[in-house]
Amino acid sequence: MSAIPGIAVFDIGKTNKKFFFFDEDYQIVEEEVQHFHETRDEDGFPCDDIDAIGRWVKTKLTEKLKDPAINLRAVNFSTYGASFVHIDVAGRPVAPLYNYLKPFPEDLGDLFYYRYGGREQFATETASPILGNLNSGLQLYRIKEQQPHLFGAIHRSLHLPQYLGFLTHGKLFSDITSIGCHTALWNFRKNDYHQWVTEEGIGNKLAPLFPSDGSIETLIEGQLLKCGVGLHDSSAAFIPYMCMIKEPFVLLSTGTWSISMNPFNKNPLTTKELQQDCLSYLTYQGMPLKSSRLFAGNEHEEAVKKLAAFYHLNPKYFHNIPFEPDLISGVDDAPAAPGFVFSGAETVEKTYHGLIQHLVKKQKHATQLVLDGTEVKQLYIDGGFARNEIFMNLMAQAFPQMEVYAASVSQATATGAALAMHTAWNQKENADHLLEVKRYG
């Protein structure tokens, strides 16, 4: 039996670290999930163990190159954003992988924004809300101001996907999807690094940009391998939809956060939109991707816990409640309440329909923020809410002028990382078969 040709993808999330091997049809031949114990930084704040992750990536790749059952042609990486690995001239990490959830010093933020035009102007120029360490460029600024000896020891700062790529191909590169994801490094108006990057000496620590769909040929274990530069996970997850959907569309990706992404909205972000949790990503092709965020999955999870306790039910019961149009309350145009309130006098099914109706009202407003001013007629919804019949039917009612679809791509983030470098390793033409859809309305 001949070896299966394909690509390896390391998909590194905050909780799960995954390895995939895809064949030329983008079918998953092998999947492995790893968990690593966290370590702590100098302040005792938990963070991912970059040394352990790096060893696993190198060991796994070597193992797969020796596997006679597969023909490993390429490798790519997708990871969570806001994650700098700071290395010295020998390529060794000189600092922990600082956690983006670590609080950012308020006085340091005040000083920074005073220097660069104030919070509103800066957020507008960088197309991102003010998010502390989630603005990963400010992690470097913080080191410069608070740990000058460490700053001097840093030769290059690579976002996590590019560091994992460096461990494989040995080259120092940055990638536009990592630079352009709420980092505060990129000026979206000028389509270049923001002026503060040069003025603060941060630019000297950043590696040159490399095409997100390009590859670096390297020799490992006597075998030639095409290596991708690595991608930010949210941008990677969007790639399958960009490749497969031919008409203008918006993607609502649902999970803990529900993120509405409209690649066909070319209008610059306004201050008002930023205040309503809008931001822009850069796609792997370097184009701004106007987006809005809603903490809907988290609100749903917390509300279900309360309902389960009140009605003395297992939370899993709510997963199977069917859509009943008669249980929907009258629709009005008033703004959604901040939180869901229930009387307890209704049946559990009626109350749960009320919760979803409340969330859809919020979601309609959030999604409308990226729809305004565009002619998009298709709305694709993936993730957890796409499997919720009540949510999907109510979204179709909320957007009667649009075609509303539940959509799914298996392991979209890892698949996107593989698709980004399709021409470098895959001899087949396309992967249109990967998208599964169901229309509502």
| Displacement of CA 138 from its chain's centroid (Å) | 19
Residue 178's domain is classified under what CATH number? Answer: 3.30.420.40
Q: What is the mean pLDDT of residues 144-150?
A: 97
Query: Count of domains in the chain?
Result: 2
3-state secondary structure of 409: coil
**273 and 402 housed in the same domain:** yes
3-state secondary structure of 71: strand
In a domain, 289, yes or no: yes
3-state secondary structure of 60: helix
Rounded CA separation 99/132 (Å): 11
In a domain, 264, yes or no: yes
pLDDT tier at 326 (50, 70, 90 boundaries)? very high
Q: What pLDDT is attached to residue 383?
A: 86
- Tokens 């939180």 sit on residue: 339
Of 161, 158, 53, the residue nearest 421 (C-alpha)? 161
In a domain, 342, yes or no: no
**254 and 122 housed in the same domain:** no
| pTM of this prediction exceeds 0.95 | no
Lowest mean pLDDT among 90-99, 263-272, 307-316: 263-272
- The strands making up 436-440's β-sheet, listed across from edge to edge, are 278-282, 288-294, 258-262, 249-254, 378-383, 403-408, 436-440
**172 and 244 housed in the same domain:** no
Interior/surface letters 134-163, b for 16+ CB within 10 angstroms, e for the rest: bbbbbbbbbbbeeeeeebeebbbbbbbbbb
**144 and 84 housed in the same domain:** yes
* The two structure tokens encoding residue 197: 């990057």
In a domain, 44, yes or no: yes
- End-to-end CA, the chain: 48
Domain finish residue from 231, 247, 281: 231
**219 and 275 housed in the same domain:** no
**145 and 256 housed in the same domain:** no
**209 and 249 housed in the same domain:** no
pLDDT tier at 336 (50, 70, 90 boundaries)? confident
Do residues 79 and 160 lie in contact, with contact meaning Cβ atoms separated by under 8 Å?
Answer: yes
Domain finish residue from 199, 216, 231: 231
**273 and 403 housed in the same domain:** yes
Q: What is the mean pLDDT of residues 245-262?
A: 91
Four-CA torsion 398, 182, 176, 13, nearest 10 degrees: -80
In a domain, 344, yes or no: no
In tens, the pLDDT along 213-225 reads 999 999 998 899 9
Q: What pLDDT is attached to residue 441?
A: 86
pLDDT tier at 348 (50, 70, 90 boundaries)? very high
231 conformational bin, left if phi > 0, alpha if psi -120 to 50, beta if neither: beta
Q: What pLDDT is attached to residue 332?
A: 72
Please give the residue range of the domain that contains residue 388: 233-296+353-440
**405 and 264 housed in the same domain:** yes
In a domain, 329, yes or no: no
**93 and 140 housed in the same domain:** yes
Q: What pLDDT is attached to residue 27?
A: 93
In tens, the pLDDT along 102-136 reads 999 999 999 999 999 999 999 999 998 899 999 99
Domain finish residue from 185, 216, 231: 231
In tens, the pLDDT along 40-75 reads 999 999 999 999 999 999 999 999 999 999 999 999
**154 and 242 housed in the same domain:** no
In a domain, 56, yes or no: yes
Count of C-beta atoms within a 10 Å radius of residue 131: 17
- Tokens 């940055």 sit on residue: 174
Do residues 336 and 365 lie in contact, with contact meaning Cβ atoms separated by under 8 Å?
Answer: yes
In a domain, 312, yes or no: no
**178 and 248 housed in the same domain:** no
Q: What pLDDT is attached to residue 267?
A: 87
